[in-house]
Structure 1
């Protein structure tokens, strides 16, 4: 991811894609995924993964995972282990429906610090809650986060 980001950062600089603050920017594709049960069962995912991929190069820039349940964590809680050296993967306790947007907002927020980039435009599958969260919570402002329709204008 670091190498992909550096390549795209250099490409943005060469092409002159920098904002008013001089920070290079790129267009990205964002996507989230989670499991669903079929055949009429009501099911809310306990784990969600979301990614940010640079549009031009098609390379991964960010990957995030939220787990609402992890069997080893649950087992450890009941056994109360003496050692705190275990690594636990349960990292979410809020509503399952907000996991995807939280991951993607995290990726947008980390873009400058991690890669020296801003995500100027993004392509998303039309999830309005994700678009709303990014618009409201991304620190570098609305002028850099565009809706999917605007990405093709």
Structure 2
């Protein structure tokens, strides 16, 4: 992503898309959130947001939010401590706020 950002910056500079020497990079922003709605609202467990450079079409940033970890949930259901593991749970806010909080 760093190389892609450097390339996008270089192309912006070459095109003269700058102000006071600072390049302006146009990005394409997108995201996806798994949404379950069975008449009870929605409860997101995971979401992703990404920024792609307009000129290079390369990934400049990706942010992932997870409210669930199988290992932690399994340990909790058994009333035991979770073993040492790489835990991908990195979000504890409301499901509704996950979409706005992709930083």
> Shift of residue 101 of structure 1?
2.3
Measured against aligned partners, the alpha-carbon deviations of 1:60-79 in whole angstroms (never above 9, x if no partner) come to: 11111101122212234542
Gap change, CA 1:39 and 1:69, over 3 Å in 2: closer
Give TM-score, length-normalised by structure 2: 0.79
Counting matched residue pairs gives 101
Which residue of the partner structure matches residue 2 of structure 2?
Answer: 2
Contact persistence 1:73–1:89 (CA under 8 A): no
Q: CA RMSD in A?
A: 2.2
- Structure 2 distance, partners of 1:94, 1:73, is 17
- Structure 1 distance, partners of 2:39, 2:73, is 28
Gap runs ≥5 in structure 1:
107-153
Measured against aligned partners, the alpha-carbon deviations of 1:40-83 in whole angstroms (never above 9, x if no partner) come to: 564321101111111222211111110112221223454214x6
- Structure 2 distance, partners of 1:44, 1:79, is 26
Which residue of the partner structure matches residue 93 of structure 1?
Answer: 92
Which residue of the partner structure matches residue 14 of structure 2?
Answer: 14
Give TM-score, length-normalised by structure 1: 0.56
Larger radius of gyration: 2
Determine which structure has the larger helix proportion and give its number: 1
- Structure 1 distance, partners of 2:19, 2:97, is 30
Which residue of the partner structure matches residue 49 of structure 2?
Answer: 50
Which residue of the partner structure matches residue 71 of structure 1?
Answer: 70
Gap runs ≥5 in structure 2:
none
